[in-house]
Structure 1
Amino acid sequence: MEMVLTPIVCIAQGYIQGKPVDDLRVRKAILELPDNKTEHLPGYLPLVPGMPVLLTENVATELGLSKGTRGIFHQLVYDKPPEGDRYHDKNFPSNTKFITQPKYALVEFSGCKLDGKLAKLQSKIVPIAVSKQIFLFYAKELLPDNVAKAAKINKKTTKLTVKRKALPLIPAYSMTTRKSQGQTLGKIIVDLVMLPGPLEVTSPYVSLSRVKRLEDLLIIRPFDFATLQIKPSMAQIEVFKRLDRIAQNTRRRFQFIV
């Protein structure tokens, strides 16, 4: 017997001047913005029990729940939407269940520093509540050319201030090198074929050093060995020299202090 899971997608709620965004074109454009333009709150958040997720903001740093912490999603708690508030998107399967009013997600964090378990929850499972962020949306692309031109001539802004409510989580099946910084992972698959353009000296180092054992690392395809021979740029070298001077001055200044 085949068991079929119903896909779940959380839809972020957007507000402009305190009112929900009801214009379909504007709403769609705002939801499709990349996370780096929405204070890292995703417009669409697909969820499946058992999937890995990442926190996108600091929740409780003293408990080890900070931005970039990896967890396992278990369950979503949400309110039923009002009648008439239905959402559909052809980019998702027809049986997708869209959640427009999530309350919190139950996520398991193996490294959580909670002394005990929360009431009625298993150990290491923490409720992650909906977060709020404010960002700017440039609506110029949605305006007809003549309207956009008139707005520019009259010096009227086409920037909209958007308040978003969403869960501070993103799927973690894969991540960029930047997102992986500071994490120790069990097993990883790394792609060392870099995109065109200048390379950072830390790019290969960060990705290759996320595991403790060589057998937990798999490089997915052949790569140019020069990737591992990147040298620091002049700007980076100057930063290193400046930090070294600061360290030397600090040692000289405080060498007699016990």
Structure 2
Amino acid sequence: MVGLSLLARLNTIVKTAKHINMDAPFGGVNMIFFGDYLQYSPVLDKPLYHTHALAQQYNERQIEMQCAQKIISQINCVVELNQQMRTEDARYLELLTRLRNGKSTIEDYQLLCKRAPILVFRNTLRTQLNNRAVLNKAIETGIRLVVCVAQDYIRNKAIDDSRLRKAILELPDNKTEHLPGYLPLVPGMPVLLTENIATELGLSNGTRGIFRQLVYDELSEDVQFDVAIFPEHTKFITRPKYALVEFLSCKLASGLKDLEKKKIPISLTEQTFTYDIKDLLTETVSKAAKVVKRPTKIVIKRKALPLIPAYSITTHKSQGQTLRKIFVDLVTPPGPVEVASFYVPLSRVKRLDDLLIVRPFNFSSLQVKPTAAQMEELNRLNKIAIKTRKHFPTT
């Protein structure tokens, strides 16, 4: 998902690299863009169809975005891809087509009401569902539950304050650059890769795999953590080396040495994030810090496996994936709602029979219309597409 800020940065990088025609977009290099404006907008960026209101002054980021808008406005050739390649169910395809245009019928609503990774809107709920599913898998197979514990550091020193360490480990992974504090694992469970490892081999952020084995340094005695969500006999691993994960979609031509084909070792990765300790301070200390304007945010360096259980995933993370069967919640959390909130999760499967709805939802959810900015850009591109077809007729 490319937004205006990212597009502006890419434009600058390519122009600098070419260093030939600095006045032309991307230094005169022909660019091909592809995507769907009615899917989720980029995170922490503005979509390419976003328009800025006029202002007397603009900051640097706003100027970058306006430059990116000028680039997008210069697109002079458009090809519309109208054939749906994922959905095999004709009736369901008609439903999805109406849904993306905000024109769902009461019959569409009734059809969905009659009706599995679980797709949810919030990371916290996803984590709770995943932890429960992994625990059930351990009970079902009779295997002791193993939980990988992230290694957190402040200024390259391990955190020795138990309250602080517990609070940081329990943060949702959307606050920790997608490296979880606790990673429950059972052989045979589905996992999701959260970082780009080797995109050319199909090992990128969002790739699904099957966890097979954990390789780690054995300690002389079991280390226990006060985590109520895991049973007493859980084995906590604080020194993992790597996880062996089977990626069926991996494009590696042959297996790695001593490993079966498609089995890839996933090692620890490192990320940094900030945490505000004010909630851990006493009221007196907190007030004193505020008076002297002493910052309460600290920088944490985390080392952990870039994996999360994939029994449940967020609708954002599901974008672009084809899932065999899904169990989806269409009751959205508080906040803005867009066409993508419903179109993205419902369009992950090939047939209506592969979809189950968690609970009742409002008919109005299926009638969310594209924004005026989305429609304006789609109409502009459609006009260019008509001109393109006339200029490049097919035989």
Give TM-score scaled by structure 2 length: 0.59
For residues 3 and 48 of structure 1, do their structure 2 counterparts lie closer, same or farther at Cα, with a shift above 3 Å needed? closer
> Aligned partners of 2:141, 2:334: CA distance in 1, in Å?
43
User: Deviation at 1:204?
Assistant: 1.2
Q: Give 2:327's aligned residue.
A: 189
Equivalences for residues 107-146 of structure 1 within 5 A? 107-146=245-284
> Aligned partners of 2:316, 2:203: CA distance in 1, in Å?
18
> Aligned partners of 2:324, 2:207: CA distance in 1, in Å?
14
Which of 369, 372, 381 is the matching residue for 1:244? 381
The higher relative CO (CA closer than 8 Å, separation ≥ 6) is in 2
Q: Deviations over 1:124-152 (max 9, x none)?
A: 11111111001111111111111111112
> Aligned partners of 2:178, 2:238: CA distance in 1, in Å?
18
Unaligned runs of 5+ in 1: none
Q: Give 2:312's aligned residue.
A: 174
> Aligned partners of 1:3, 1:202: CA distance in 2, in Å?
38
Q: Give 2:241's aligned residue.
A: 103
Q: Please identify, of 13-22 and 195-204, the stretch whose mean Cα deviation from structure 2 is larger.
A: 195-204
> Aligned partners of 1:136, 1:239: CA distance in 2, in Å?
37
> Aligned partners of 2:235, 2:226: CA distance in 1, in Å?
10
User: Deviation at 1:195?
Assistant: 2.8
Post-superposition, which runs of at least 4 consecutive aligned residues in structure 1 deviate over 3 A?
A: 234-241
Greater fraction of residues in helix: 2
Q: Give 1:54's aligned residue.
A: 192
Retained in 1: the 8 A contact 2:203–2:250? yes
Q: Give 1:147's aligned residue.
A: 285
Give 1:86's aligned amino acid. Answer: V
Retained in 1: the 8 A contact 2:222–2:235? no
Q: Give 2:224's aligned residue.
A: 87
Equivalences for residues 212-223 of structure 1 within 5 A? 212-223=350-361
Three-state SS of the structure 2 residue aligned to 1:175 is strand
Q: Percent identity?
A: 63
Q: Please identify, of 199-208 and 209-218, the stretch whose mean Cα deviation from structure 2 is larger.
A: 209-218
Which structure is larger by alpha-carbon Rg, 1 or 2? 2
Q: May I ask how many residue pairs the two structures share in their alignment?
A: 249
Three-state SS of the structure 1 residue aligned to 2:212 is strand
> Aligned partners of 1:240, 1:187: CA distance in 2, in Å?
31
Q: Please identify, of 184-193 and 44-53, the stretch whose mean Cα deviation from structure 2 is larger.
A: 184-193
TM-align CA RMSD: 2.4
Unaligned runs of 5+ in 2: 1-139
User: Deviation at 1:87?
Assistant: 2.9
